[in-house]
Amino acid sequence: MKTPSRIQGRRDHGPALTLPILRAVQFGLTAGILTSFAAAAATTPSVTLAANGLHGYISYGHEKSPNQSAFTAGGGFYSAVWSLVDQPLANFQVGLPGTWIMPDNSDDRTTPLAPEGTLARTWTERGPTWDSVFQTVEGGLGYWRGNHFRYGPPKFSLNGTPQAYDYEVGSPGWSFFYSNQALPDNRLGLAQLSNRLLIPPDGLTFQGHPDGEFLGYSWLALPFTEPTTGSPPTGDQSWTCFLNAANFKGPIAFYIPETWSKIGRVFQDPFLYGRGLDTRPGIIGGGAMEVNTVPRFDATDAQGSVYTKLPRLHFPVDAAGRARLVQDVTYYSKSALYDAFKSWRSGGPACTGSFDLKGAWKPPLNTHTTRFDQAGRKITGVERVCDTRIFEDNVWGVQWFTNTISPNGEFPQYFKRVGETSVAVAAADVPAETKLQSSEFKLAPPGPAYTSPTNGAWANPGPKTGPFTARLADGSVVTYSWYRFVDQPSFQQYHWSAEKKAELQVFVEKLHASWPIDRNYMAPPTTGKLVALDNGLIVTPPHGLETGYVPIVTGQKTQ
């Protein structure tokens, strides 16, 4: 649901008065000669930079569960990690395969969930209930226009939209790349849970140059706290992100339940009480690559035909031309982890955190040919190059075919405008006079530093120790401090009782002591290798702070 950026390209408003024409006027040449000079100038190709080069959702769906209400306590999968582009490009945003979790409000057919005044309420096509843009957990792997520190490979970022897209929560301190400054104290929503992994505002980085290795991630609703009554009433679902990588496994953060429930109080709308992700079952309807913002070059040849060039988009294919992108899609009921977790928190036996597959369902996947467009103009011909497929073992991806337009693993890069469509063509079919082949897209420079306040929730009660720094693969330096878990900034807006905070603090200390980062919580991938996270993200608690303390990122900047 991101609005594409506008790339201001040079636009020609007619032929310039070139030096040959000026000389013709100076020496009194005939009107006929002048006309021929002007015609030649008018047909001289020029390359212009524009936005909206490619848009579409490369997606998969799945069959409905035989018990639709059972498997709504979480979901996850393994997604391929690879460098979609050769270099870190400016004004480029494409999400690698991800998904969206929404609260189930299917019982509401008429009453708006997005209050008047929210951003989503302006999207009238989402009415009458606006349930699809009320609240979501999303994010995942990708490239985003707002990234400050691009380095080639994609990044992994969390994201949540608690208030009908008025704001987004992408890390324990910041929005989803919308600002260099941390979120206001009353809009913080993610609680850092891991005491071993940094969560920078610009996203998690990877080791080396991944080319199809898999990152596993799952979201599970877990009861870290008890439900509460009052204004607003709040449920017990803390949507918790688990990762499975070669060098890190386990939960990293969760959305505090009040993040979702407070919209009813903010807008003084009791109808919204009990409608959020803190209470409602989570709906996951499949997944997709969201091709959002891709720059393009346009050029017109001497015959007036318009050609377009996109950045080179590479996919990790095997010898058979298959790009295996998503596998092991799994949805969970409360018996997968919620029940054992709640029992442990209530004084029962310790919970290992490993997902019980008796409470899991792997839906049979399905897919369809993607409809791409270019600035609203339909794209054709891509389906002759590649198309989505469900491979053996219920793996979703893209199959390349024998063709003359693009080699295996390469998305078509050139298009010719034919009527109201843009048709994929081979590079050899683009006239050399357009100069498209030699045109290079702008690289993204490093962005400004992410900063956090030195007062408010960040300073009261404040960190136990720090600051410390870590250098990441994207060329940035992350600054962080160690906070007692319940003293981290996200919790301070709620003014919980001392008893409630103490209970949560003791339980998290048990979790830190019992859940290592080398245990399988998600089931291992059926096929393929796991990707490795950037070692710069993995930290060790200081002596004496081994349990119950978390590393909160307070800033990120270039080295």
3-state secondary structure labels for all residues of 514-541:
HCCCCCCCCCCCCCCCECCECHHHECCC
Give the gyration radius of the chain's Cα atoms.
Answer: 26
- Which of 7-11, 29-33, 319-323, 530-534 shows the lowest mean pLDDT across its residues? 7-11
Per residue in 299-336, pLDDT (tens digit) is 999 999 999 999 999 999 999 999 999 999 999 999 99
* Residues in CB range of 458: below 8 A, 6 or more apart: 182, 452, 489, 554
Per residue in 49-58, pLDDT (tens digit) is 999 999 999 9
pLDDT grade for 45, boundaries at 50, 70 and 90: low
Per residue in 268-307, pLDDT (tens digit) is 999 999 999 999 999 998 999 999 999 999 999 999 999 9
Q: Does the pLDDT at position 7 exceed 80? A: no
**Mean pLDDT of all residues in the chain?**
92
Structure-token pair, residue 478:
């992350």
User: Domain boundaries in the chain?
Assistant: 1-44, 56-290+327-362+446-558
Q: What is the pTM of this model?
A: 0.90
Q: Mean of the pLDDT values across residues 496-505?
A: 97
> Looking up tokens 């809009």, which residue turns up?
187
Residue 470's DSSP bridge partners are 478
Q: DSSP strand E in 181-264: where? A: 190-192, 211-222, 238-244, 249-255
